[in-house]
Amino acid sequence: MISIAKELPPRFIKAIVLLTALMGATTSIAATLPTDKFDGKVSVVTEHWPPYNFLDEDDNLRGSATEKLRYILDNADLDYTIEVMPWVRAYALAKNQPNTLIYSIYRTEERENLFHWFCPLAKSVPQYIFKLRNRHDIALSNIKELKDLRIGVNRDAYAHQLLIKHGLKEHEHFSTTTDVSHFLPLLLKGRVDLIVDTKSGLQQKLDKLSLPYDTVETVLTLVDDMVCVAANRQSDPQLLEALSKQFESNAAN
């Protein structure tokens, strides 16, 4: 058997010994460096959107989607807070702040790569285009015909993105707001021709004004799809794994 050490010059042997010692020291230091661990704290943002997520008369957060999400987060043993705010602000926070969840949100092609998705939170959530019942001059068969009318829509909502996708332009064909409830009074005054909402959401707004539901009627179904929970792309893997397990468990049951 040949000894490699005997074949090498002394200076090379010293270099190997020194390099080995340095590698060992580096490994030891790395093992003692602190690591960031997920502390289980999650920020959840949503909008006032009855009957899925809304504040009641006592400012308590309620809704079918809210109750389901709370059940999921509690079972995942997560420390979370839920804050209600205008959709445009909630959407911006969820896109830019790690460990932030947003609900109830439609999963669309435009949004697909902006978030991690957990679906469904609700399987079918239709939104409609409404007009005043006495507007007999308005009769639509498809979304392209909206270009001749004035529409009110929530900013950065799925309906907003859908109108743009179909070639409609803000200020020319539609107006946006951070609170879709602002558009019902405008509809009643004739300042917009159409608004976008869910049937139950619009019913609640009409109730607050002491108006019957037959004040309005549907013109078109704009969207009928599931809504989800979306997580910021930079969220901790432990959070994402916990949510995945809970949604899988709920789907199995």
CA distance 20 to 55: 64
Cα gap 162→110, rounded to integer Å: 10
Mean pLDDT in order along the chain per 10 residues (253 residues)? 47 48 40 54 94 92 96 96 95 98 96 97 94 96 90 91 91 86 93 94 93 97 95 97 94 72
Angle between helices 64-75 and 237-252 (to 10 degrees): 120
Contact 67, 207 (CB under 8 A): no
CA–CA separation, 40 vs 138, rounded Å? Answer: 52
3-state secondary structure at position 198? coil
pLDDT of residue 17: 45
DSSP character at residue 147: G
As given in the structure block, the two tokens for residue 30 are: 């790395």
The Cα 201–Cα 157 span in angstroms is 15
CA–CA distance, 253 with 247 (Å, rounded to integer): 10
Amino acid (1-letter code) at residue 204: Q
Using CB atoms within 10 Å of the CB of residue 217, give its burial: 0 to 12 exposed, 13 to 18 middle, 19+ buried: middle
Tell me, what amino acid is at 148?
D
Q: Are 132 and 216 in contact (CB under 8 A)?
A: yes
- pLDDT value of position 36: 55
List the one residue out of 68, 102, 66, 100 whose CA is nearest residue 87: 102
pTM for the structure as a whole: 0.80
**First and final C-alpha spacing in the chain:** 67
Contact 105, 156 (CB under 8 A): no
Spatial contact of 129 and 140, defined as CB atoms under 8 Å apart: yes
> 């899925």: which residue's tokens?
52
User: What whole-number distance in Å separates Cα of residue 243 and Cα of residue 76?
Assistant: 7
Cα separation, 114 vs 134, in Å, equals: 42
Lay out the sheet containing 174-177: strands in order across. Answer: 79-84, 41-46, 100-106, 216-232, 115-132, 194-197, 151-154, 174-177
**CATH numbers and ranges of domains, the chain:** 41-124+226-252 (3.40.190.10), 125-224 (3.40.190.10)
